[in-house]
A and B are shown apart, each in its own frame.
Chain A
Amino acid sequence: MKKLIILIFIFTACADLVNAQDKKSTWQLDNFMTFNWQIATPLSTDYLKETSVAGGNFEYRRFVKPNMSVGIGFSWNSFEQYIPPKVYEKPDGSQQLYTDFIHQVYTLPMYLNAHYYFGGGEKMKPYAGVGLGAQYSEQSAYYNIFVSEEDNWGFVARPEAGLLYKLNNYLGLHANVGFNYATNKNEAFKIDNLKHVYYGIGLYWNSY
């Protein structure tokens, strides 16, 4: 979480720097799409903790004011972690169970988003924003040749900060970092919510 705050601070600082350096921006965005590869680190649960590189993000944004856009987005992340064999014991000591597991969580947040863009230089346009919507998720525990699975829906909120880097009038690079909080619950797996920090890098396509 500290890293996320630091990164958001850097993005904001960068935005101020761009503002200061270039007050006469000519870079105009109307509406654009982004497609990112996403790395994510789960924060919410003991169920799994390993960072996942299996993820992606797609967004469509439309400017409603010179420095503000609204849009829709989809994201997906597939987390998994091997849990070595161990004995699980019921608190009263009456039952024990021994096995190893592969824990997996698949998340698919779908959301509406709004972003504010900090000024704009010739090449870079930093922004901060938030996405609000619903998250579909599947949680699975694989053991021996068996699997226990559950799926559910939750509310999702995704504050984030990012940077657009212009390559030409139509195409550019896109990087962002954010925090995904969803209310998905799974009592059997003792999951009260699903949270992860994500780091994305990809491309955007601008259409005037």
Chain B
Amino acid sequence: MKPRFLLVVALLAVIVSCRKVPDTSELSNEQVVATDRDLSANFSSYSTYFISDTVSVVANDPKDTILTGALATQLVNAVKTNMNNRGYTPVARTANPDLGLRLTVIKDITRTAICGGWWDGWWGYYPPWYWGCYTCGGYYYPWCTSYTYTIGTSTLYIFDIKNQGPNHNLRALWGATAFGVFSTTNNQTNANLTENAINQAFSQSPYIKK
């Protein structure tokens, strides 16, 4: 009986190790794009917007906080093109815009943020990204979960400047988070991935229109 028992144990070991590893090369390298809107927002009530020509950067180097030049222009223009196509007009910061947009790129950083209240399992997967806890102009973004940044994430928010509250608190009407693998050597590749993600974020948010 002992040899049979050993045979069974050996077979069990084989069975447990038989889980197939999927071929993940099938997966797209395009970033995962999540968007979130304030359901009470009436996007058609706004006409003008402002977005900076530079992009905020969160990186391991604390001095590396702003992205400028051609790559920043590429990303900002992608946002502008989408906003203009939806009927909004870009204006200067000093021209009292109705909406303020802020684009942030997070690269090569490991950070864990734990908030609460956002995840309710609606789409069937645990989100591994940090959805919010984003402080901007006194605004605390309420939808949060936990996420450890290891590669590339970009966020784009639309804030209501037209109806800002006391102490200049701003309400976020819409937020987009794109995350996924970034190239470690080619920033143009990363900019292209981010531009595609920006276009996808607007594509899946048809309610943003004048």
**A residues neighboring B (CB under 8 Å):** 54, 56, 58, 60, 74, 76, 78, 80, 82, 85, 87-102, 104, 106, 108, 138, 140-146, 148, 187-190
Q: Would A99 and B181 count as touching, CB distance under 8 A?
A: no
Neighbouring B residues of A143 by C-beta, 8 Å: 27, 32, 125
| CB within 8 Å for A78 and B19 given contacts A98-B32, A99-B33 | yes
Q: Would A60 and B125 count as touching, CB distance under 8 A?
A: no
* Cβ of B37 under 8 Å from chain A: yes
Give complex CA distance A96, B180 in Å. Answer: 17
Neighbouring A residues of B62 by C-beta, 8 Å: none
Q: Would A188 and B11 count as touching, CB distance under 8 A?
A: no
* Cβ of B61 under 8 Å from chain A: no
- Tell me how far the C-beta of A76 lies from the nearest C-beta in chain B, rounded to whole angstroms: 5
Neighbouring A residues of B125 by C-beta, 8 Å: 141, 143, 148, 188-189
Q: Would A187 and B121 count as touching, CB distance under 8 A?
A: yes
Q: Would B179 and A108 count as touching, CB distance under 8 A?
A: no
Give complex CA distance A168, B32 in Å. Answer: 58
Q: Would A85 and B30 count as touching, CB distance under 8 A?
A: yes
Give complex CA distance A9, B151 in Å. Answer: 56
Q: Would B15 and A190 count as touching, CB distance under 8 A?
A: no
Beyond the given pairs A74-B15, A98-B32, 6 more chain A to chain B contacts, judged by CB atoms under 8 angstroms and listed by A's residue number, are A56-B18, A74-B12, A92-B39, A95-B123, A97-B123, A108-B16
Q: Can you show 29 pairs from A to B with CB atoms below 8 A apart?
A: A54-B18, A56-B18, A74-B11, A76-B16, A80-B20, A85-B30, A87-B204, A88-B123, A88-B124, A89-B204, A93-B207, A95-B35, A95-B123, A96-B35, A97-B34, A98-B32, A99-B28, A100-B28, A101-B27, A102-B24, A102-B27, A104-B22, A108-B16, A144-B27, A144-B28, A144-B181, A148-B125, A148-B128, A190-B124
A-contacting residues, B75-104, CB 8 Å:
none
Give complex CA distance A145, B22 in Å. Answer: 12
- Tell me how far the C-beta of A28 lies from the nearest C-beta in chain B, rounded to whole angstroms: 20
In this complex, the member of A88, A141, A144 whose beta carbon has the largest number of chain B beta carbons within 10 angstroms is A144
3 cross-chain pairs, A with B, having the tightest CB-CB distances, nearest first: A78-B20, A144-B180, A99-B32
Chain B, interface size: which category? 35 or more
Neighbouring A residues of B127 by C-beta, 8 Å: 97
Neighbouring B residues of A106 by C-beta, 8 Å: 19-20
Of the candidates A56, A90, A91, the one whose C-beta lies within 8 Å of that of B15 is A56
Type the 1/0 row for B31-68, where 1 means its CB is closer than 8 Å to any CB of A: 11111111100000000000000000000000000000
Of the candidates B30, B31, B37, B204, the one whose C-beta lies within 8 Å of that of A94 is B37
Neighbouring A residues of B12 by C-beta, 8 Å: 74
- Tell me how far the C-beta of A25 lies from the nearest C-beta in chain B, rounded to whole angstroms: 27
- Tell me how far the C-beta of B86 lies from the nearest C-beta in chain A, rounded to whole angstroms: 16
Give complex CA distance A82, B27 in Å. Answer: 8
Give complex CA distance A88, B36 in Å. Answer: 12
- Tell me how far the C-beta of A74 lies from the nearest C-beta in chain B, rounded to whole angstroms: 5
- Tell me how far the C-beta of B189 lies from the nearest C-beta in chain A, rounded to whole angstroms: 15
> Which chain A residue has the least Cβ–Cβ distance from B151?
A145
Q: Would B39 and A94 count as touching, CB distance under 8 A?
A: yes
Of the candidates A91, A138, A145, the one whose C-beta lies within 8 Å of that of B19 is A138
Neighbouring A residues of B73 by C-beta, 8 Å: none
In this complex, the member of A89, A141, A145, A190 whose beta carbon has the largest number of chain B beta carbons within 10 angstroms is A145
Q: Would B124 and A108 count as touching, CB distance under 8 A?
A: no
> Which chain B residue has the least Cβ–Cβ distance from A87?
B204
Give complex CA distance A92, B200 in Å. Answer: 20
> Which chain B residue has the least Cβ–Cβ distance from A90?
B122
Of the candidates B4, B11, B15, B22, the one whose C-beta lies within 8 Å of that of A142 is B22
| CB within 8 Å for A95 and B34 given contacts A142-B22, A188-B124 | yes
